[in-house]
Amino acid sequence: MELDGKVIVISGASSGIGAAAARLFAAEGARLVLGARRAQMLDALTSEIGESGGTAVSLAGDVREEAYAQALVGRALDAYGRLDGAFNNAGIVGEMGALAQMSLSNWEAVMSTNLTSAFFALKAQLPVMTAQGGGSIVFTSSFVGYSNGGLPGMGAYAASKAGLIGLVQSAAADHAADGVRINSLLPGGTVTPAGGQDNPEFLQYISGLHPMKRMAAAGEIAQAAMFLLSDRASFMTGSPMIADGGMSVRLL
């Protein structure tokens, strides 16, 4: 089992990639703390994992609040006595449109959810992992924030995800000697509620942009996250690992 006995926090766990990761990580032996804003969906997933023989507890809240990042870590310590990994996956796309017409409220919402929340997560998770002598932290970024990955109408999203890659690389350099690995995962288009799964025309259009001519299933991205959290990635830190169906190649 790839994650046997590891205690892992997952944010954005109520649906999409986060929920797929929760199911996969639990099946691979992890003990989980699940976080998201939607308490009812979070509770249902936690119960599902328990009924399937896995181990999970949950705590609903907003990743834009520093106290919530601390509370998720506290929940892990209270339930399991340690913290071995974190999949910081919560994020939003925000309103799409030209920057000149973008509202400040949209810019701030995207930045606080996608980037400032990562700062809060690191502040909460790093001291515990450093004191333990190691751990693994993974953030969900995007090919949209990577080299040649820009798409029109996604200025705030691209800026937040590019900033996240930079934050991860700096933090990884700071804490590599502490045994804490910090990486970012860059998915391509993924079929999720936020990714237009109920809009066949949109899915067909986005699928056609990928050289593989399809979008990822949420479980495929969860597999990539599991690799980064597992001991198989023991010599990887500061990496922007791409799992984008060839999108970054197409845009070169």
pLDDT digits (tens, 9 = 90+) for 76-118: 999 999 999 999 999 998 998 888 999 999 999 999 999 999 9
- Give residue 203's pLDDT: 80
Report the distance separating Cα 161 and Cα 95, nearest Å. 15
Q: pLDDT tens, 230-239?
A: 999 999 999 9
* Domain spans of the chain, in order of start: 7-250
Contacts 24+ apart (CB under 8 A), 53-61: 54/26, 54/27, 55/26, 55/30, 55/31, 56/22, 56/26, 56/31, 56/32, 57/32, 57/33, 58/13, 58/33, 58/34, 59/33, 59/34, 59/35, 60/35, 60/36, 61/35, 61/37
Q: How confident is the model at residue 192 (pLDDT cuts 50, 70, 90)?
A: confident
Give CA 129 to chain center in angstroms: 18
Who contacts 42 (Cβ-Cβ below 8 Å, separation ≥6)?
A: 13, 14, 34, 35, 36, 58, 60
Q: How many CB atoms lie within 10 A of CB 173?
A: 12
| Mean pLDDT lowest among 7-21, 67-81, 138-152, 174-188 | 138-152
One-letter amino acid at 14 equals S
User: Among all chains, which residue has been given the structure tokens 């970012």?
Assistant: 184
d(CA 116, CA 108): 10
The pLDDT assigned to 251 comes to 53
User: Which pLDDT belongs to residue 148?
Assistant: 59
Residues labelled catalytic: 157
- DSSP-based three-state secondary structure for 50: helix
Superfamily of domain 7-250: NAD(P)-binding Rossmann-like Domain (3.40.50.720)
Residue 149 has pLDDT above 70, yes or no: no
How many CB atoms are located within 10 Å of the residue 175 CB?
21
| Out of 112-116, 129-133, 232-236, 247-251, least confident range | 247-251
Query: What is the Cα–Cα distance from 24 to 95, expressed in whole angstroms?
Result: 31
What per-residue confidence (pLDDT) applies to 107?
A: 95
What's the mean per-residue pLDDT of the chain?
Answer: 92
Half-sphere exposure of 233 (CA within 13 A, CB side): 27
Q: What is the rounded average pLDDT of the residues 48-59?
A: 98
